[in-house]
Every structure is written in C-alpha cells, then in structure tokens.
Structure 1
Amino acid sequence: MKASAPKPKWSDVSAMSSTTKSYWAQWDSLLIQDGVLCRKWENGRGDRCHLQIVVPKAKVPEVLQLYHSGCSGGHLGVKRTLLKIRERFYWVHCRDYVEDWCRKCTSCAAVKGPQIRSRGALKLYNVGAPWERIAINVAGPFPETESGNKYFMVVMDYFTKWPEFFAIPNQEASTVADKLVHEVFCRFRDSQRSRKEF
C-alpha cells in the first residue's frame, strides 16, 4: 500500500491469518496518511465519514487502558467504551477485545458484583403423608423483643401446608435444632405414631 501497489490476489493471502484476510477484504477502505495506516469509516446512515487509526495488536491494551480504565475512561460499559474507541481507532475483532477487557476489569467487577447469581434448581417432591417432609426458613433480624428474640423461624409441612412460627434469639444451628426437637418433632410425633398404628 505504501508503494501504491495494487490489491494482492486472494491466493496470496488465503493462507494467512484471519486478521490479515479481514484487512485484505477492507483494502478499499484503507489508506496511509502521514505514515499511519487508517481506515475510512461511515456511520450506518452513510451521512458521516471519518478516519480511524488502525491499531497494531501490540498497542491494543494501551488503547483499552486509556479509553476504559484511564482518567478519560471512567470505567464505562462495553457499549460506551466501544463507541469512544471507534471514534478514533480500529482493529479487527475490536468488540471482542473491549468485552473481554471490561469483563476482566477488577474495578468494574468490584462495583457490579457477580453478574449471574446461581439459584437452586426447582424440583418436584412427592410427599405421601403429613410431616414426611418439612421446610424450614429463618427470617430476620427484626427489632429485638423484650424476651430477646430477633428472628422468626417458619416450619411448614409439605403435605398439609401447615405452618408453624417460632420467635428465636439467633439463627445458630443449635437454636434451630433445639426448637425443632422440642416444639415440632415432639408435638407431632404422637400424631405420626397414631396414624401408623391405624
């Protein structure tokens, strides 16, 4: 291109990298200005055209650092970082590089937190009798009562949907287990036994 040579033949570039082939396909949009390789870029409507500097692969991290993590970057998201970069620069697979950079940015990750929160898979449980399977949930802390309780423990029977509510001082395993044994298992043990005998 510097020597004003014609566009190479496909056979000359077919064995080269995908990046080289991409630039070959854009040959008519590329030009050298003041010794710098540039690309003519038109917006989607075709009413605006400007030059983008073609960035060598070794310089891509510097551009990403400047436009995303630097003083003028402001840790913008993928879309806005990409728009800012495309105003002046171009390289093949630019979007992929920006997405990867933003995903690996520790400052952005610290602010946003995990993007995908794992949830337990929903399952269907077959239950054939009362108190065969129960659900336990602890809610709180709430304002402390006069007796020192700050939490609610809810126990529900899967079969009958019968709920039991208990006020507890903390959500430690020993407290929950003690309440289950003395307030649930002992109370409903007799009903289970009589049902089996029947």
Structure 2
Amino acid sequence: MLYRSHPESNVLQLVVPEDLQEEKLKMGNDVPNAGHQGVNRTEEILQKYWWYHCRSHIKRYVNTCAICNSMKKRATPAPKYPLTLYHTSCPMERVHLDFLGPLPKTKPGNEYVLMIMDQFTKWVERFPLPSQTAEVTASTAVREFFSRFGCPL
C-alpha cells in the first residue's frame, strides 16, 4: 500500500491505482450511505483516497451520474405560465377559496379549514370541515358565505 501526506492537512491518503478508481468513485457517490449528494460531498467522502486528477474525475463522475442529474436543483427553474394580476374595483367582484389541512382531527371530526377571501377588501372567513370534497365545499360556501355576502361578480 502506498500513502501520501496531504499537503495542507498532513492527513495520510491512500493512493488508489487506476483500475480501482472507478470503484472508489462509486463508493463515494452511489452507495446508499453516500446518497448522490454532489461533487463537494463526494470529495469529502473520498478525502482518505488520492490519485492524479482525482478532483476532476469526481466532478466528471458526479456530473454524468443520471441519478444526481435527476435530483439536481436547476439553476433556472422550469418555465411556468406567467402569473397574471387580477385587479378588482369593488367588494365581492372576485372571491378566492382555499383549504388548510389536513390538520389534527377535532372532536366534531373536522380536519380541514375552508378559507374564503374577498380579493378587494381582503376579508377572510374560515370554516372547519371534515373533508374537502366538492359537495361539502360548495354547500358550506353557499350556506355560510354567499348567503350573507351575496354572489361574487
């Protein structure tokens, strides 16, 4: 076995022969406890080993790994349809409905909260519900909100 002393930290590093370098790259990146965590983490895992151009080999190996590339955060996010602004000029012109949950179930059996908000006034009403089905949502919205404030434009 041949070791070299790391020039900065004086840690002994095992010199890896060329025919075992691929195996060490797999060990540092592919095995479950390594977890495809990128170039820097793979370099940390393999810091006990050394060969000529090992950093460039690690970078190339990780950058060409299909699993690493599939989990990599993109520098530019995937294109999405641009958000559009809706301006309202009076109350009840536009109303938004959304759910919170699932939350811990209450004694009456509710685990969701229906949130209804008027976009112009920002008035929010909240209603606990047992589910978020269309029937429960529609009946609650009509019975509890629209019966008091009227139908939105």
TM tier, shorter chain?
0.5 to 0.7
1:151 aligns with 2:112: yes
Question: How far is the alpha carbon of 1:157 from its aligned partner?
Answer: 0.4
Q: Which has the higher helix share?
A: 1
Q: Summarize deviations over 1:22-76 as a string: whole Å, max 9, x none.
A: xxxxxxxxxxxxxxxxxx9974x598998955747xx654332233335xx8316
Gap runs ≥5 in structure 2: none
Within the candidate set 135, 145, 152, 1:184 is matched to 145
Confirm or deny: 8 A CA contact 2:5 2:13 kept in the other structure.
yes
Q: Measure, in 2, the Cα distance between the counterparts of 1:49 and 1:68.
A: 21
From 104, 120, 125, the counterpart of 2:67: 104
The DSSP-based 3-state class of the residue aligned with 1:153 is strand
How many residue pairs get matched? 140
Alignment pair present for 1:90 and 2:65: no
Query: What does residue 33 of structure 2 align with?
Result: 74
Paired position in structure 1 for 2:121: 160
User: 1:65 aligned to 26, 29, 34, which one?
Assistant: 26
The normalised TM-score by structure 2 is: 0.61
Superposed displacement of residue 142, structure 1: 3.0
Q: Which amino acid aligns with 2:33?
A: G
Asked if structure 1 preserves the Cα contact closer than 8 Å seen for 2:96 and 2:117, the reply is: yes
Distance 1:160 1:88, change over 3 A: same
What is the distance in 2 between the residues matched to 1:129 and 1:163? 16
The one-letter amino acid of 1:74's match is N
Partner residue, 2:92: 131
What CA RMSD, in Å, does the superposition of the two structures yield over aligned residues?
Answer: 4.2
Aligned in 2, Cα 1:151/1:74: closer, same or farther, shift over 3 Å? closer
